[in-house]
Structure 1
Amino acid sequence: MERKILSKLQLTFVFVLILLQGKVFAQIGAPNFVFTQMCAEPPPYPTNFNDFTINFTFSGAGTYVLEMSDANGSFLTTPLPSLTIISSQTTTSPGSFNFRLPSNLVGSDKYKFRIKNTATSPATAGPSSGAVPNPDPNLPSRTGISAYYKAFIDDFSINNGASTLYLCGSGSINLIVDPTTPGNPSPLDITPALKYRWYKDDVVVAGQTGSTLTVNTPGTYQAFIEYGPCTTLSSFYCSKKVQVVPSPTGQTFTITSSGGTSICPSNPTTLSVQSGYTYQWYRNDVAIAGATSSTYVTAQSGTYKVVIGQGSCAATSNTITLTAETFNTTLDVVLDPGFNFIDDGEIKVITATTDAVSPTFEWYLAGNPVALSTTNTLTTSLPGKYTLKVTQTGATCNFPLEYKFTIKIGIDPTDVPNTISPNNDDVNDTWIIPQEYIADNIEIFIVDSFGKEVLKTKNYENNWPQTTVEFKSVNPVYYYIISKDGSAVKKGSITIIK
């Protein structure tokens, strides 16, 4: 009889406990939301890029808080993700929380949410949210909701930004996400470490989530930051594509010229080799700046070649020599970078002589678009930078050539003065020579009219004479020799006047 009474008490206790449990869970409803995944980004926050709202029902007063599970959907982990509550409404049902995801959130498709009443002792938690259907039917089903914080939202580079890499023989290449450099941030700096999604020929490489991918087959490779269904498969948050191609080593690359080897400067030729690699063109064994494609357009004579690939995988093409038709022109002035000096007001006549067939002439002064002359001579008294354009017009190959020269008013700075007046008026008191004659390997030697040495020095300081010069019935005359490395380069006389 006693056993039956105890059994009834036990049954009654269980029944009351079930009622109490039902009452507790009835007070807080499961969270509900309109979004199918949570894709947050760093500030400055664009609209809804880290702004989410969860609604819930409740009955009775309490202190309600929103909790997010760990990446596996468990609420037992300590600590759980720390949400930033923007605003909340927990006074009357239905309630709501407007919040932001933490920046250190590790992305997952298993996150869950629940509402907890912390006013009870112990705190009372309502049911958690369930699985949210994946909006992309091609992706695996989820047990919770996808939530990712896109901690890195810039493009990045791999292998120092290379566009082409070469497989040497049967070897392999490591594709590596580049570290940060000035102006180029790197996802490697983000903590916790991000995962990656690698693609080969636009097909995902299964099981590869690290910042390095080892490849041993040719193809087009690219890396994306792995943000689950929040991954943007476009030009955002990804590396540039890199072509992995077989090494050119051992292959033959032959240059072809669209215009043959005898070319006209007015009709450039296109040099080309097999495409699909990296290139550096050379003219007369000197690298041509910017000539890095499989073709190169030129109208210049010279011997050309191209280096295909890089480092130990590189190959060199044959050489091809181009001969460009030309003509000869001479001017009776010094061409740039030299100078031509005239006195102020002096009129200078410049003549051009050429073997061009039926030539035309156009003389220009910088800053004036109108030709000063259209014959083979120019008469001018103006200083400035001049250009002569000579065009061959009476041959199969007609083209222009330009010649540039500069006219200045003044004394040629290579001229050595032949008079000085040491009268202490601070004007022409000493023999001042051009700077180009002052150096360790240049010797200045001066003698008087009787051949007596008065100065012998290197690195002359433009300070002779340093003593008083004796005047008699005539102005004294001295003679100088300027020698460079033991050989005379300039000789002359110096007359001293009062």
Structure 2
Amino acid sequence: MLKTTLNTNRILSFCLFIFFISTKINGQIVIGTPNLGFSQACASASFNNYNATFVFSPESNLEASNQFIIEMSDELGDFTNPTIVFTSNPGSVTTSPATLNFSIPTTTAGEGYKIRIKSTAPAATSARSIAFAAYYKIQDSPFTINNLVSTGAYCSGGSYLLTIDNPGTGDNDSPLNYPSLTFNWFKETSQTTSVFVSEGETLEVTEEGTYFVETNYGTCTSNSFSNRVTITEVTSGQANATINSSLGNPFCPDQGMTTLSTISGVSYQWYKDGNAIPNATNQMYQTDESGSYSVQVDLGACSASGSIDLLSELFDASINVEEENTIETDETLTVIISSTAANPDYQWFLNGALISSATGDTYEANQYGDYLVVVTENTGCEGTREFNFSINEPIDPFPEVDKIPNMISPNGDNINDTWVIPPQYVSGTNTDVTIMTSQGKVVLKTNNYLNNWPENQLNLTNINQVFYYIITTADNKTKKGSITVIK
């Protein structure tokens, strides 16, 4: 009886074990190796969407809470610390085969990435996918090197350093603004071929040739590349120092200063129209003026020179009147502006106030005061030119005055600036006029006085300095007195 009971228990235990194993097997799934819907993942801000397709079985073993996860390896295919690039919503994927979309991280850069698929309920992991190149192109636009100067030179036995510009010129988006990026330098072997030279942010050139650099995005194509620079070796004589204008040539001055750049050297001296520009001793020089610019570059054991005829596209204009003008009370002054401006506007101002009725290139001015004309070009290279002129009342050098003044104030305000005496003593009356300092030094002696003393600026030693005069008429009548000059 005891033996029968023992056998019965053994059989029951075996059946329970078989049931448990069967239950465990029936609760699992198998996930196939993911198939990539791409050959390379060359992502950027404008595109970062990739997919992978996989099969799993049996579908019936998926639990309602199951999520499929896409894990991505490092650039060597290692899953020790994988990156999750996609997680499905619970229960959203229920049929096989399934296709999932994912994006790669912005730090991705390498040739050997892989992905795998995992499920959570029940837990399962696929085999690894085939390896693929993946790069996130955080900077994907052309950039400049060598300040966009197309040439460089080094003395025989020396070298020339090429560098990526930071922040560059104009709208240049320098890749140096992105610390995670690396760079590959190349030397051209023909117009369509080149060879790899070196890695890094700079390149020390010791061989003649044409060089450029690309951001290292591996086998992914990219627009992140530089301009070409041709380097020559100077064995004798003087090398050519190319000059580049950052705003082009001709340039629009309304965009601001243009930057003139030349090849790299030890020291520099810039010239305009053949004359040395004071303190212009750097590799770059800023200007907004047209002219013939040149530069001397000391390369160490040799030198280089270059020139550029820089032209401004700002229109030319001129005015037909002088800065100072005089008209009688009933007269007018015809002012004409001549310009090459395209679609110009004209604004006229009198003593700072806009003359609303004056909108053309000609104006009949009949009021005394200070005028300003602003000419604006509205098409092409937009910009403005300004002209100032004044209209003054005529000055009578021999006005009708009754008395000899004893005070003047030569401050340039056209009021009491000179010593004006009655007409019977001035030019044409044969009257002797003598003016002396308080020490008796004669500062004026004439028999043809024009009411114009002092013509020149006086070297006054006091705030109010006193001078003395003697007037002797043709019939030997004499008048004497003092003149106080107010400083």
TM-score, with length taken from structure 1: 0.49
Residue 193 of structure 1 corresponds to: 181
Contact 1:383/1:407 (8 A) holds in 2 = no
Quick one: distance in 2 between partners of 1:415 and 1:27?
113
Residue 68 of structure 2 corresponds to: 64
1:224 pairs with one of 214, 223, 237: 214
Task: Sort the Cα spacing of 1:415 and 1:24 in 2 relative to 1 into closer, same or farther, 3 A.
Answer: farther
The runs of 5 or more residues in structure 1 that have no matched partner are: 1-18, 131-143, 254-275, 288-303, 318-333, 349-362, 370-380, 386-404, 422-429, 439-443, 456-477
The runs of 5 or more residues in structure 2 that have no matched partner are: 1-21, 241-261, 278-290, 307-318, 341-362, 372-386, 423-432, 439-450, 461-468, 470-481
Residue 200 of structure 2 corresponds to: 210
Shift of 1:71: 0.5
1:150 paired with 2:132, answer: no
Residue identity (%): 26
Residue 104 of structure 1 corresponds to: 107
Shift of 1:208: 1.7
Q: Which structure: greater strand fraction?
A: 2
Task: Tell me the matched-pair count.
Answer: 314
Task: Sort the Cα spacing of 1:29 and 1:407 in 2 relative to 1 into closer, same or farther, 3 A.
Answer: closer
Residue 224 of structure 2 corresponds to: 237
Task: Sort the Cα spacing of 1:197 and 1:39 in 2 relative to 1 into closer, same or farther, 3 A.
Answer: farther
Q: How does 1:244-283 map to 2 (within 5 A)?
A: 244-247=231-234, 250-251=237-238, 283=273
Task: Sort the Cα spacing of 1:204 and 1:196 in 2 relative to 1 into closer, same or farther, 3 A.
Answer: same
Give deviations 1:404-462, integer Å, cap 9, x for gaps.
x99964326x99996899xxxxxxxx978664899xxxxx886999999999xxxxxxx
Shift of 1:158: 1.7
1:311 paired with 2:298, answer: yes
Shift of 1:347: 8.3
1:170 pairs with one of 142, 147, 157: 157
Contact 2:104/2:136 (8 A) holds in 1 = yes
Task: Sort the Cα spacing of 1:183 and 1:164 in 2 relative to 1 into closer, same or farther, 3 A.
Answer: same
Residue 92 of structure 1 corresponds to: 95
Task: Sort the Cα spacing of 1:284 and 1:173 in 2 relative to 1 into closer, same or farther, 3 A.
Answer: closer
Give deviations 1:43-89, integer Å, cap 9, x for gaps.
xx3xxx2011111111231432111111101112x2x2342569895
Q: Which amino acid aligns with 1:34?
A: G
Shift of 1:226: 1.4
Residue 475 of structure 1 corresponds to: none
Residue 124 of structure 2 corresponds to: 124
Task: Sort the Cα spacing of 1:367 and 1:172 in 2 relative to 1 into closer, same or farther, 3 A.
Answer: closer
Shift of 1:485: 6.0
Shift of 1:241: 1.6
Q: Secondary structure of 2:153's partner?
A: strand
Shift of 1:213: 1.4
Residue 392 of structure 2 corresponds to: 410
Q: Which amino acid aligns with 1:67?
A: E
Quick one: distance in 2 between partners of 1:119 and 1:445?
108
Task: Sort the Cα spacing of 1:432 and 1:186 in 2 relative to 1 into closer, same or farther, 3 A.
Answer: same
Quick one: distance in 2 between partners of 1:21 and 1:196?
55
Quick one: distance in 2 between partners of 1:53 and 1:204?
34
Q: CA RMSD in A?
A: 5.5
Shift of 1:157: 1.8
TM-score, with length taken from structure 2: 0.50
Quick one: distance in 2 between partners of 1:229 and 1:216?
28
Quick one: distance in 1 between partners of 2:238 and 2:126?
71
Shift of 1:189: 2.5
